[in-house]
Amino acid sequence: MAGFTSSYSILPPVVRLLLIANVVMFLLELPFGNQLIAGLALWPWGSSSSAVFSFSQPHFQLYQLVTYAFLHGGLMHLLLNMYALWLFGSRMENVWGSRAFAVYYFVSVLGAALAQLIVAGMSGGYYPTIGASGGVFGLLLAFGMTFPREKLILVFPPVALQARWFVMIYGAIELWAGVTGSVAGVAHFAHLGGMLFGLLLILYWRQRPPGFK
């Protein structure tokens, strides 16, 4: 599964479409934020409703397993996720091809959603989850496994780490933060769910490579 496609693209098609879709949804959030959160964010599945779509009452709906990943809680949230999506996603789409990349990204998004639903159900909390971070963390894992010795420079502290160590340290921090609850307002287990489902798909592909690029 490793190796670049014949012509490297700095902004491959699926990454480009994801960036555009996330930016468009963020612009729509400016005038319609509350309505979009109520209808498209990921709500706990104990809140399910017979309504197909609801802007007025927040309920869990099946489509929210995907739509939550196109909403963001603020400009910085959007910029950080989109930068990481471009940084890691463009490399992986060039390696895997667009179709395989799209499958991997949305498997990570779904895995993150399922992990968050389980955690929310156990805690009894009633709050929405939004953001592309689950898919981004899946891409981070894929990057670390594909380019394990490539160095990434941290912002703080400003040191260079090999990608494999960066992924392991970041994953450990997310697990610690999720278990201890020391960083509130962040869906740590969703991030870990994105990484876990991404890992499972990569391991599956190593045994049975996808028949498409």
pLDDT of 201? 97
Cα distances (Å, whole numbers) of residue 164 to 45, 108, 168, 212: 35, 19, 6, 27
**Among candidates 185, 189, 140, which has minimal Cα distance to 163?**
140
pLDDT of 94? 96
Sequence-distant (6+) residues with CB within 8 A of 12 are 90, 93, 94, 98, 101
Q: Which two tokens stand for residue 42?
A: 């990921």
pLDDT digit string (tens) for the chain, length 213 residues: 554 445 889 999 999 999 999 999 999 999 999 999 999 999 998 755 544 455 556 889 999 999 999 999 999 999 999 999 999 999 999 999 999 999 999 999 999 999 999 988 787 777 899 999 999 999 999 999 999 999 887 666 678 889 888 888 878 877 776 665 555 567 788 999 999 999 999 999 999 988 766
Q: Using an 8 Å Cβ cutoff, are 38 and 55 in contact?
A: yes
Helix then strand count (H, E) for the chain reads 7, 2
Domains of the chain: 13-207 (1.20.1540.10)
Give this prediction's pTM: 0.88
CA distance 23 to 15: 12
| Extended beta strands in the chain, E state | 151-153, 160-162
